Amino acid sequence: MAQDNIFREVDEELRSDRMRNLWRRFAPYVIGAAVGVVAIVAVNEGWTWYNSTNAAQSSDELYAAFDLADGGDLPAATAQLDTLIANGTGNYPTLAEFRKAGLLAKDGKAAEAVAAYDVLANSQSNAHMRELALVLAGNLLIDTGTLADVESRVGSVAAEGSPLRNAAREIMGLAQYKAGDLPAAQASFQSVIDDAMTQSSTRTRMGYYLAQLVSEGAGAKTVNADAAASVIDEIVQDATPSGTGPVLAAPGATEPAPAAEAAPAAEPAPATTPSAAPAATPSSEPAAQ
């Protein structure tokens, strides 16, 4: 029995010696790994705090620029935006570039604004930001450029699947109207109405555009004021959009207009004055989808 105890003590002593030797051998690595983990966590937390602090500062600077612009001090707002573009963090410099381009347009420098939007469209990695820049540039070019200029910007955005497709189609239609291509303008406005995702207020606006086109002879052989008003009435009265809506023909016309140029039905917000056609000149901002 005593012999067993001696063997057990010797075995335990040998195990202790092996553990001490292993610890002496690997202790620096274990301690170094623990210190490394703590350091990584500390650096990550510090970087997060730094970014949050800078992002908050950039946000304050951006809103300060907005306030200056709203107050009419465009030079000071532009200077504030330039500082943010140079020193801001996160996505705030990009937002500042968009706002700066908008201030150029507001100051009557449409060509410079279009150039700024073009730079943004070519430099952004986010597809939606690129499309937004193209739509804003196309909107300015309705008045200041040609139909080809507008198409080169918003033509690809008007395709199915783009969140800004209806804004692009409206811009395209207005440019086509300005260029005198009434059938193409009618098709562009019609495509907005036919989109199931179009908001009712947008669909109503398209109805006014179509009424304007009908009053000028697009899609009907016999035209009078009632024909233009009926386009809006048809859109207001029906509940859902339809790809094969009513024909855009004046009462008493001998032939209906082609089905592709028909104004489908939808449920927009009630029109205030059906007999009033919209002005041919577009608004300064693209239509909300």
- pLDDT tens-place string over residues 104-150: 999 999 999 999 999 999 998 899 999 999 999 999 999 999 999 99
Tokens of 211: 């009424």
CA distances from 169 to 151, 157, 172, 177, 193 (A): 10, 8, 5, 12, 10
Helix residue spans in 216-274 (DSSP H): 225-237
CB contact at 8 A, 234 and 245: yes
**Tokens 């020193």, located at residue:** 87
Q: Residue 233's pLDDT is what?
A: 65
- Report the amino acid identity of residue 136: L
Average of per-residue pLDDT across 247-267: 37
CB contact at 8 A, 264 and 194: yes
3-state secondary structure of 107: coil
Residue 264 above 50 pLDDT?
Answer: no
CB contact at 8 A, 234 and 210: no
Number of neighbouring beta carbons within 10 Å of residue 267: 15
The pLDDT tens digits for 5-39 are 665 666 676 677 777 777 777 777 777 777 777 77
pTM, to two decimals: 0.62
Instruction: Give the CB-side neighbour count of residue 110, counting CA atoms within 13 A.
Output: 11
Q: Cα separation of 288 and 168, whole Å?
A: 10
Q: Residue 136's pLDDT is what?
A: 96
- Report the amino acid identity of residue 205: R
Q: Residue 43's pLDDT is what?
A: 73
Q: Residue 236's pLDDT is what?
A: 57
